[in-house]
Amino acid sequence: MANKAPFKTTFDASEVIRPIFTGGAIALENGARILATTLGEDAVLTDIKTGKHITTVEGDGELISTLTLTPSGSHLIICSRSQAMRIYSLKKTSDSIEPQLVRTLKPHTTPVLVLAVDRTSTLLATGGTDGSIKVWDINGGYVTHTFRGPSVLVSALHFFELAETSTKPLETDASKENRKRKKSKSANDVESEEVPSAARFRLASGSQDGKVRVWDLHKRGVVANLDSHVSDVRGLDYSPTQNTLVTAGRDKTIRWWDTKSWKARKVVPCFELVEAVGFIGNGQLTYTAGSNGRLRIWNTENGQELTKEQAPSPEVEAFVGGIYRPELPFIVCVQVDHTLSLFDAPGDAHASSQIPPPEPFRRISGTHDDIIDLRYLLPDHSAMALATNSEDIRIVSVTEPKSGSQPLVSSEYFGQDIALLKGHEDIILSLDVDWSGHWVATGAKDREAKLWRVDPANNSYTCWATFSGHAESVTAVALPRSRPVEGSKAHTDPLSHPPSFLITGSSDQTVKKWEIPREPLQGAKTSIRAVYTRKAHDKDINAIDTNHQSRLFASASQDKTVKIWSVEEGEVQGILRGHRRGVWSVSFAPPSTPVLQGEQGSVAGKGVILTGSGDKTLKLWNLADYTCIRTFEGHSYTVLKVAWLNIPPPEERSKKPILCASAGGDGLVKLWDVNNGENECTLDNHEDRVWALAVHPDTNMIVSGSGDSTVTFWKDTSSETQIATNEAALKRIEQEQELENYEYVGAYREAITMALQLNHPRKLQNLFERVVNSKTPDAGSLSGLKAVDEVLASLSDEQLFLLLLRLRDWNTNARTAPMAQRILWTLVKSYPASRFSSLNVKGARGQKSLKEVLNALKVYTERHYKRMEELVEESFLVEYTLQEMDSLAPALTNMRLVENGDVDVIMTS
């Protein structure tokens, strides 16, 4: 029976909430599944239904200027500042999409800022900053049309196909011309001719100078010049049922055009910069999105706004783009803060009635920016609050999707944006959550702290109270940790019973205690006075934490100290001194912490506290005498956050260590054994400082938030790793015994295969020596046994590379070199040279390592052959010497031996 492997702490990244959009173009195919977004130099494909990351298409080193998807979702087209256009074919499977680069083109001599694809997904229009427009065949990769207008930036493009009725006036004009040319042809004959569908294809373009031009793809020329806008034209759309083209731009007007006469039907001022416009349904409704951050619906026929009056949104929520097609079930609007808002498209039944102000049914955060702080929410910990370097708290879902059928746009997938807590006027710096997860406290640069009531079941997210009084930014907040008595009203109905107090710390170097009102405070004039205010430190306060009895709280400051306070009186109970730089984080030990082993002896677990500092260390302190128990060293930059992991149950403490976690400016999360100070493991998935840490109280999952806009969820896989390690050890012992059995019975084929699999070089060497030195080799065998030849001829790339490594080592030893040469000769005869040159070797240095191995084999082989040649040459000298001796020596037949006593033997003739 195999001995159990020692317990090893392991965590794996199970989920990652990553940025998908940092500004620029977005695209959506007709199936409303694939969302393409711009992420700096790269393009990201996301499944908008499940929120899952599909793939990232790496850029060419320059920022992406625009991108688009074909309506069918067959191709992705990306243009960058390098003036290159890359066309990717999207190969779809049931659970993935694989982009394959089809071709790279240089469409214009200037960057391309706008793209358009026709409804058939075969034609692509590109608009350059020099005013030129080109139409491309996507599958063929060649230009079909080139249109040249004034040297003004093209700001909008749209393919459309004229309705048949709108071409009749054109047919009548043509018939008049024909009657002038051919008197024999009647007008009725001309009108009865059908106009081919290709003749109805048009391309509308809008420019930065406000001009709109309609291009005929059949005649390859301009059919209409619409001079009306006086600024950038940002939106174009066509309705075949209404025979209308709608245009809108940054001159704050919307214009509807009759496509029969190309005259303006209606001009409506909208008093905002319009960034997107389009028809809804059969064209009776028109939508606009612009700088007010509100989706507005208009009656196409009379130009009246149907949505009720809406107050402008904050500047960061202004719309900078939008997407809608009749095939899509919703309208997508892009905000300045890189949030995508999804709105239900109203039906044609609303064409004559007032529409309530549209609200997005879903928001997709393109990027969360810097993650400054985070906490689990709700009793089941199914949501998470994120402080994201903004004035709002973002609440996201952290539960897995439910099994079974899902609606088109699911609101229950992992990472889904649930709500925003709006109220602060400046960046939020800290947050805390009470025991129930329903109450959230926040502190911000606006010098205020707020308490929020979170009730997702009723879609209620309200500000309960605002605490004003600090002279500088509120940098730390803390709510009580103690749980109410089970069965009490506060325990059974936490939504109706807010926490009893709030502790705040500020850059003004003071701490304040606030009594939380039992009822929500309504009105801006209502103010709350602090119970007490204490001058706590000589520099900014970075963190505050309360213990689990809610009797003490700790404040950490840039003045290198941590102070322990009584909650009730606000008096200092002790000061922790020892850090060489400012202290960034502090955390009391959990209530179930057992006795801990310090450098000076054992300490009661309940009376310890953990701190992290700018001196790159963590320290564990004894609250009995306020001395340092242990120092943890390992980070290369500032320790920004510390947290305790769940304490193992008593029956598992003999094998599972008591752990704490730390996050640093080096982008790493480290786990430490509290009892011996050793680093158990390091978690690396971030590219910037890790500001925030949280631990799931049930599953021990660690959540880390970083300045790289990612939130990583680390699953505790220690138990799974332990089981897998034990199983692997047991399996290896069984395989080694099996190898011994094969070797004993002389089953060389199976033994060599097993030795390669187990990577046993010594046994492999013995097996090959037996085969090569066999006294009864098989006839026609390369190695000595045909069974071994078959094994060597059917190796995988990994096994072949491993065998080459062994042959390289054996080839350096003169004793084992003959065997190595025989096996190497067998390999060379069994495989073509291309197999060795194209070996798929894992690792970044794979091909380089392969080259080194082959070179080493070559060098030692040449050395062995040179030595053999020298031996052969020397043998010639020996043979020559013997021959000469034979010619000089007399014949043995003429000689006789004469014994001289007992000593000499004399040869005489």
Q: Running along the chain, 909 residues long, what does each successive block of 10 average in pLDDT?
A: 66 92 92 90 90 89 94 94 94 83 93 94 94 94 92 94 64 45 43 60 94 93 91 94 94 94 93 94 92 94 91 91 90 93 84 84 89 92 91 89 45 81 93 94 95 89 93 95 88 91 95 92 72 94 93 95 94 94 95 82 80 95 92 94 91 86 95 91 93 93 94 90 80 80 76 79 82 83 83 82 84 84 86 80 58 81 82 84 77 55 54
pLDDT at 522: 64
- Contact assessment for residue 631 and residue 617, using Cβ atoms and an 8 Å cutoff: yes
pLDDT at 195: 55
pLDDT at 92: 83
With CA atoms as reference, report the closest residue to 215 among 227, 203, 201.
203
- Within 10 A of 816 (CB to CB), how many other CB atoms are there? 16
pLDDT at 579: 95
With CA atoms as reference, report the closest residue to 359 among 413, 422, 408, 310.
310
Contacts of 95-103 with C-beta under 8 Å, sequence gap 24+, read: 96/54, 96/55, 97/34, 97/45, 97/54, 97/55, 98/55, 99/45, 99/55, 99/57, 102/75, 102/141, 103/141
User: Which residue, chain included where needed, has tokens 């999105």?
Assistant: 289
With CA atoms as reference, report the closest residue to 617 among 602, 642, 635.
635
With CA atoms as reference, report the closest residue to 248 among 302, 307, 291.
291
pLDDT at 895: 55
DSSP states of 339-401: EEEEEEPPPGGGGGS-BPPP--SEEEES---S--EEEEESTT--EEEEE-SSSSEEEEE-SPP
State the Cα–Cα distance between residues 486 and 637, nearest whole angstrom: 43
pLDDT at 170: 42
How far lies 341's CA from each of 131, 319, 896, in Å?
Answer: 32, 9, 119
With CA atoms as reference, report the closest residue to 481 among 448, 435, 441, 446.
435
DSSP character for 337?
T
The CA angle 308-311-312, to the nearest 5 degrees, is 125
- Reduced to 3 states (helix: H, G, I; strand: E, B; else coil), residue 101 is strand
- Contact assessment for residue 726 and residue 719, using Cβ atoms and an 8 Å cutoff: no
- Contact assessment for residue 310 and residue 357, using Cβ atoms and an 8 Å cutoff: yes
**What is the 3-class SS of 582-602, one letter each residue?**
CEEEEEECCCCCCCEEECCEE
Q: How far is CA 887 from the centre of its chain?
A: 88
State the Cα–Cα distance between residues 151 and 131, nearest whole angstrom: 5
pTM score, whole prediction: 0.79
How far lies 702's CA from each of 193, 471, 715, in Å?
Answer: 72, 35, 7
pLDDT at 796: 81
State the Cα–Cα distance between residues 23 and 335, nearest whole angstrom: 9
With CA atoms as reference, report the closest residue to 332 among 76, 45, 27.
27
Q: Which two tokens stand for residue 885?
A: 């001796």
The sign of the dihedral angle between the CA atoms of 829, 831, 836, 837 is: positive
- 534 CB-near residues (< 8 Å, 6+ apart): 510, 511, 512, 565, 570
- Containing 725, the helix (H) or strand (E) segment is helix 718-745
pLDDT at 66: 95
pLDDT at 848: 60
Q: Which two tokens stand for residue 291?
A: 């700088």
